[in-house]
């Protein structure tokens, strides 16, 4: 079963488990101007790109759209990196290969969940073979063995599927000692599986607060949605990942597209009430592309100052969260982390850049390749 982060968070309070935030609010910093002194850059900078099936045939992964999207990521966004996430080895392989051929550095992360461990490990092994062939062909490719296994892998937390496991976590219906022991066991198995087929840099996509034996990996990787009022608090927090003496990758960071969204971190998905039919945004939600853009560029500058090795914004596009400028209560893009907005045109759709896209493109246009 393929599970996108958006689909998961729509049905649960996952973000409350995996995301740390503080209630203190700080104003986002404005975009840098070209007259400022030259600043540090994150070496590998870009966006995540999902390859899962959509909620309808028209919103799922398509090779034609993928090629056009990666062209835009390279030539219009001026990214040098893309994190390819999802399941389906053929989709992962086609997307990673296209990205590599365009000169992008690739972080490849299979995300297969709610199936037996053996299937997850075999899916990882097949993805690892793809990554190894790309590496042998000269591509800059890194492999992540997966993401937040306590959620996606059956048996670590009770529950037949991810949504049920989240409910058990929220209700306290789990044994934390068993959870940590099983998490460590499966992370170790995954690292071993990947090492046998892939000889390049290896990592694991941890949630904030996860206890991981980073000696198994070459890179420390975290999905980072914390919010602090002060820049120094971010730098202090990020040092907890740097203490392992390995390059740190922020595999996900970002914000939804409404006033106050950065403070809500991963919880910002819940601007939409999915118990309504049709789902609708909370009455207090005020769309703001500028808030999203300011937060993302602020975080990028903080990562650069901290010496973060790689950082990819979550997410490039969310086809199942279309923009609706005429009916704000049904503007699902406001509760989306994507840096482009989806415009529906009958049964088809296209995307347009948000302000965050333009702000990042401005920031990265003259950065060293």
Task: List, for residues 58-97, the tens digit of each pLDDT value.
Answer: 778 999 999 999 999 999 999 999 999 999 999 999 999 9
Residue 1 confidence (pLDDT) above 60: no
205 forms beta bridges with 147, 221
- Cβ atoms of 41 and 198 closer than 8 Å: no
Instruction: Point out the least confidently predicted range of 23-27, 170-174, 252-256.
Output: 23-27
Q: Where are the beta strands (DSSP E) in the chain?
A: 44-50, 81-86, 105-110, 141-147, 202-207, 220-223, 248-253, 272-273, 280-281, 310-313, 340-345, 348-353
Between 112 and 33, whose confidence is greater?
Answer: 112
Q: In the chain, what percentage of residues exceed pLDDT 90?
A: 79
Residue 305 confidence (pLDDT) above 60: yes
Q: What is the pLDDT of residue 217?
A: 98
- Closest residue by Cα to residue 55 from 286, 279, 225, 313: 279
Each residue of 164-212: pLDDT tens digit?
A: 888 898 899 999 999 999 999 999 999 999 999 999 999 999 999 899 9
Dihedral sign for Cα atoms in the order 368, 363, 240, 105: negative
Q: Which residues contact residue 178 at a Cβ distance below 8 angstroms, ignoring those fewer than 6 apart?
A: none
Q: How far is CA 102 from CA 64, 194, 352, in A?
A: 15, 25, 21
Q: How far is CA 138 from CA 29, 36, 56, 198, in A?
A: 39, 36, 36, 14
Residue 287 confidence (pLDDT) above 90: yes
Q: How far is CA 207 from CA 19, 56, 204, 221, 336, in A?
A: 7, 29, 10, 9, 19
- Cβ atoms of 128 and 197 closer than 8 Å: yes
Instruction: Point out the least confidently predicted range of 1-15, 201-215, 312-326.
Output: 1-15
**Fold (CATH) for 5-30+40-364:** TIM Barrel (3.20.20)
Q: What is the pLDDT of residue 177?
A: 95
- Closest residue by Cα to residue 260 from 250, 270, 246: 270
Q: How far is CA 276 from CA 23, 117, 260, in A?
A: 28, 35, 22
Rounded Cα gap, residues 254 and 309, in angstroms: 17
- Closest residue by Cα to residue 241 from 300, 160, 309: 309
Q: What is the pLDDT of residue 167?
A: 85
Q: What is the pLDDT of residue 2?
A: 45
Residue 273 confidence (pLDDT) above 60: yes
Tokens in use for 108? Answer: 């490849």
Tokens in use for 16? Answer: 């409350």
Q: Would you list the domain boundaries of the chain?
A: 5-30+40-364
Question: What average pLDDT does the structure give for the chain?
Answer: 90
Mean pLDDT computed over 317-342: 96
Rounded Cα gap, residues 96 and 85, in angstroms: 10
Residue 38 confidence (pLDDT) above 80: no
Q: What is the pLDDT of residue 32?
A: 47
Largest Cα span, the chain:
56
What b/e sequence results for 205-229 when a residue is b if at least 16 CB atoms lie within 10 Å of its CB, and e otherwise? bbbbebebebebbebbbbbbbbbbe
Mean pLDDT computed over 134-148: 97
Tokens in use for 148? Answer: 């937040």
Residue 256 confidence (pLDDT) above 90: yes
- Angle of CA points 340, 342, 348, to nearest 5°: 140
Residue 17 confidence (pLDDT) above 70: no
Confidence category of residue 274, pLDDT binned at 50, 70, 90: confident
Query: Which DSSP category does 144 fall into?
Result: E
Each residue of 43-64: pLDDT tens digit?
A: 999 999 999 887 776 778 999 9
Confidence category of residue 9, pLDDT binned at 50, 70, 90: very low
Q: What is the pLDDT of residue 24?
A: 32
pTM score of the predicted model: 0.89
């Amino acid at each position: 079963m393929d599970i996108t982060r958006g689909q998961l968070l729509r049905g649960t309070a996952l973000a409350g488990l995996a995301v740390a935030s503080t209630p203190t609010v700080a104003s986002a910093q404005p975009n840098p101007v070209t007259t400022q002194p030259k600043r540090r850059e994150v070496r590998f900078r870009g966006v995540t790109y999902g390859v899962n099936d959509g909620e309808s045939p028209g919103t799922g992964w398509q090779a034609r759209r993928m090629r056009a999207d990666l062209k835009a990521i390279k030539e219009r966004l001026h990214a040098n990196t893309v994190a390819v996430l999802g399941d389906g080895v053929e989709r992962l392989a086609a997307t990673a290969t296209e990205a590599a051929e365009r000169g992008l550095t690739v972080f490849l992360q299979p995300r297969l969940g709610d199936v037996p461990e053996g299937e997850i490990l075999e899916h990882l092994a097949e993805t690892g073979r793809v990554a190894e062939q790309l590496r042998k062909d000269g591509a800059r490719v890194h492999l992540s063995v997966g993401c937040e296994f306590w959620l996606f892998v059956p048996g670590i937390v009770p529950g037949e599927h991810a949504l049920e496991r989240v409910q058990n976590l929220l209700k306290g219906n789990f044994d934390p000692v068993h959870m940590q022991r099983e998490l460590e066991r499966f992370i170790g198995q995954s690292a071993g599986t990947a090492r046998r087929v892939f000889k390049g840099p290896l990592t694991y996509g941890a949630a904030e607060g996860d206890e991981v034996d980073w000696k198994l990996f070459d890179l420390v990787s975290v999905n980072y949605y914390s919010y602090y009022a002060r820049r120094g608090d971010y730098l202090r927090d990020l040092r907890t990942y740097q203490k392992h003496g390995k390059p740190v990758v922020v595999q996900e960071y970002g914000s939804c597209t409404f006033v106050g969204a950065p403070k809500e971190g991963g919880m910002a998905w819940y601007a939409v009430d999915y118990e309504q039919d049709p789902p609708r945004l909370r009455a207090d939600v005020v769309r703001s592309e500028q808030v999203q853009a300011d937060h993302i560029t602020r975080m990028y500058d903080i990562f650069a100052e901290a010496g973060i090795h790689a950082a990819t914004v979550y997410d490039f596009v969310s086809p199942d969260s279309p923009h609706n400028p005429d009916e704000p209560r049904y503007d699902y893009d406001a509760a989306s982390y994507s840096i482009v907005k989806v415009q529906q045109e009958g049964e088809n759709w296209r995307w347009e850049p948000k302000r965050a896209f333009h702000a990042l493109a401005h920031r990265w246009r003259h950065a060293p390749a």
